[in-house]
Amino acid sequence: MADYPSRLVGERRLFDGRKVVIRPVRADDDLLEREFLSSGVSGESRYLRFHKWVGAPSDKLIHFLTDIDYERHMAFVCIHGEGDEAEVAGEARYVANSDGKSCEFGVVIADAWRKSGVAGLLMEALIRVARERGLTSMEGLVLRNNPPMLRFARALGFEVHSVPEDPITLRIVKTL
Amino acid sequence: MDRIWLNSYPDAAPAEARVRAYPSLVDLFEESCRRFAERPAFTHLDVTLTYAELERLSARFGACLQRRFGLGKGDRIAIMLPNLLQYPVALFGALRAGLVVVNVNPLYTARELAQQLADCRPSAVLVLENFAYTLQQALESVPVPHVVTTQVGDLFPPLKRWTVNLAVKRLKRMVPRWRIAGAVGFRDALAATPGLERARLGADDLAFLQYTGGTTGAPKGAMLSHGNMVANVEQTLAWVGGTLVAGEETVVSALPLYHVFALTANLLLFVRLGGNDILVSDARDIPRLIRTMKKSRFSAMTGVNTLFNALLDADGFDQVRRANRGALKLSVAGGMAVQRAVAERWQQAMGVPLVEGYGLTEASPNVCANRFDAKAFSGKLGLPLPSTEVSIMDKQGDAVRLGEVGEIWVRGPQVMRGYWNRPAETASVLTPDGWLKTGDLGWMDENGYVGFTERRKDMIVVSGFKAYPSEIEQVAMLHPGVKDAGAVGAPDERSGEAVVLFVVRADSGLTADAVREHCAKYLTGYKRPRRVEFRDSLPKTPLGKIFRRRLRDDVLGADG
């Protein structure tokens, strides 16, 4: 099991002043992650994340999302509340490509936490780690019918490109 | 941008249509009933309702909604009928009473119907008895206060009514047993005390919630106002006006009227013109359609590519052609791309061009059409209609140069008010200055013709009906033997596209037939997979996003 990068745990504040914890995901976050993906996030949001219908997330998917090596696969969750009250407000992650230079990233925010500042905090943490790890570019695939994500990506300095022979998907790229 | 397309208009077509000719569809309807009172309005199986009869019957239906059910302006009524005489009676009755009409595909499964009813929450449903069992199942999860049921022959004269209703029920066994407490028969509903109190309606009042699919399969109701619909009727009329003569036309309505294209282009336009609408309740029954067409001298017809293609190949079409020689003035195709071969064969056979148009539910629906005096098939979507602006935009929302590909944006009085109860989705397609982003990619040439490149949205168009991959995947994954599923569209000669479903099995014994059977329980015909293929896994990115394009390539590769 990979060492947990505790130094990346941090307390932050949202636009409205509420306190949240931004930290790398842990293997024992499986229940929180399942709750997040099945109830926190609507079917529509899951569709935008996976580009297909995802119903109840499978054990395999939850394992893939929470039990990570913090090297090739890095993920941050935004946690609000403590103990039994704790919930995932959003998550951002990347998986490095085999070239060791670029990575694919994705970000999902719980429906109730949209526009609260969660996505910005998560991406800030994710981009910082990606740079530290020597990655030089971050890219993602976004459906054309997801204008909020495209606006957010542009604001973070991502460039938007079309994907050859694929009318429904856009590729967004940022040099780190 | 300048409206360069105006230079390509036929002389008879004005730049602006009289888009405010009537305050509401009810005013339009009532004027036609006065002007054309004794003219035939709708004909089904040789039974005709005149405009005067339609006026009288629709007033009674409207009175039932108001007096007996206590409904009024703004309440919704779902109409779940194929093309029958009852359809215009109920439609105009409901509109005159001030209700908002929600069209429902009668072939929907209980799951699809329940989803739509839950979204629009109607106060009443009118259903053909053949589909009452589906409604009964849907009502278990979404109760509706008032249900009216009708039998096919309910508006036929007595002898014919009894024979038709008996044949449908007993001989052909087309009515699954149903039981809905408190349901009122259509004839009983019409017997209500007269006294329709005509609703006061203006252009901004809603006339229809016209449902269209969403990316996750949850349907969205486009709010189409009386003003939207009147405008689109007048815009379409301004375009074809030189071709058609009020009070003299006959149109064949083979496409379902619950679909927005036939609703505007057949029903509303020809009511406006005082024409006779020949109703065909099942266009897939080509021999019956041919018999109907042989009997009626028709001057106009609408369809989708699939239908025109099937007609051209059908036994007996030559007799239709001969019987109708010299009568046809106008044939229009919408809903899906028209194939050049089909357009050319049709023009050769019928002597008039197969005019391709372009529209979408959110625009009531007509946006573009080709010229009706075209000598040859343009292969394009056509010119923007009168009082319609079309602009081709890049990703930043700036207009591209002529000839360059971008997203087709539309502005005009036919553009919807938004999606019912979905402000976020409304905001993502309607700009503050009134543009509708269609999600279709295209370009405009130097003459103002709009060409279509491809869809931006993840959907599959089957004979003009839109199927969304995510809905099909969602249904497939309800099957315990399915671990993962991905749906894509494959080119299909007959229907334009067909659904192909890739399945990762959880149960190695699962067969393609079992998957198809399962899908048929939850999905109406056009959404069902034509082909089911099994895979060990679906192509995904490192992060777990599906590569739908690779699945599509797979389909094309398999076809050689």
* pLDDT tens for each residue of B65-112: 999 999 999 999 999 999 999 999 999 999 999 999 999 999 999 999
CA distance B293 to B60: 31
For all residues of chain B together, what is the average pLDDT? 94
B538 → chain A, closest CA residue: A52
Predicted confidence band of residue B297 (pLDDT cuts 50, 70, 90): very high
Tell me: the pLDDT tens digits for B455-490? 777 889 998 888 999 999 999 999 999 999 999 999
For residue B334, the one-letter residue type is G
Q: What percent of chain A has pLDDT over 70?
A: 99
User: Which residues does B529 contact at the CB level (< 8 Å), separation at least 6?
Assistant: B472, B476, B487, B499, B500, B501, B515, B516, B519
Interface predicted TM-score (ipTM) of this complex, two decimals: 0.90
Given a contact cutoff of 8 angstroms between Cβ atoms, the answer to whether B217 and B469 are in contact is: no
Contacts with B, A 118-147, CB within 8 Å = 140-141, 143-145, 147
Q: Quickly tell me which residue has 């192509």 as its tokens.
A: B539
pLDDT at B236 over 90: yes
User: What pLDDT was estimated at residue B489?
Assistant: 92
Q: Peptide bond before B143: cis, by omega within 30 degrees of 0?
A: no
pLDDT 10s digits, B394-443: 878 899 999 999 999 999 999 999 999 999 889 989 999 999 999 899 99
pLDDT at B46 over 60: yes
Percentage of residues in chain B with pLDDT exceeding 70?
A: 99
Q: What angle do CA B36, B39, B42 make, to 5 degrees?
A: 110
Helical residues (DSSP H) of B299-415, grouped into ranges = 305-313, 317-323, 340-350
Enumerate residues 55 to 114 of chain A having a beta carbon within 8 A of any beta carbon in chain B.
55, 58, 61, 64, 93-95, 97, 104-106
pLDDT band with cut points at 50, 70 and 90 for residue B558 = low
Which residue in the set B428, B439, B543 is minimally distant from A106, CB to CB? Answer: B543
pLDDT, residue B560, reads 40
Provide the token pair at A75.
Answer: 């993920």
* pLDDT value at residue B366: 97
Task: Give per-residue pLDDT as tens, B314-323.
Answer: 999 999 999 9
Interchain proximity B545–A51, CB inside 8 Å: yes
Q: What share of chain B is helix, strand, coil (3-state, %, to 5)?
A: 35, 25, 40
3-state SS assignment for residue B111: helix
Whether the CB-CB separation of B251 and B301 falls below 8 Å is answered with: yes
**pLDDT tens across B261-283, in order?**
999 999 999 999 999 999 999 99
- Selected residues 18-47 of chain A with any CB under 8 Å from a CB in chain B: 43-44, 47
Query: How far apart (Å, rounded) are the C-alpha atoms in residues B45 and A152?
Result: 58
Nearest chain B residue to A54, by CA: B474
pLDDT (tens digit per residue) in A67-116: 999 999 999 999 999 989 999 999 999 999 999 999 999 999 999 999 99
For residues A19 and A13, the answer to whether their CB atoms sit within 8 Å is yes
Nearest residue of A to residue B469 by CA position? A52
pLDDT at residue B453, rounded to an integer: 85
For residue A38, the model assigns a pLDDT of: 94
Residue B1 has pLDDT above 80, yes or no: no
Q: For residue A143, which residues of chain B lie inside 8 Å, CB to CB?
A: 215, 458
Average pLDDT over residues A56-77: 94
Which residues, listed in sequence order, are joined to residue B441 by a DSSP beta bridge?
Answer: B407, B454
Q: In Å, how far are A3, A51, A52, B197 from B447, measured between CA atoms?
A: 66, 38, 40, 50
Q: What is the pLDDT of residue B217?
A: 62
Q: Chain B contact for A171, CB < 8 A?
A: no
Asked if the Cβ–Cβ distance from A43 to B474 is below 8 Å, we say yes
Residues sharing a CB contact under 8 Å with residue A96, sequence separation 6 or more, in sequence order: A71, A72, A73, A102, A103, A133, A135
pLDDT of residue A1: 56
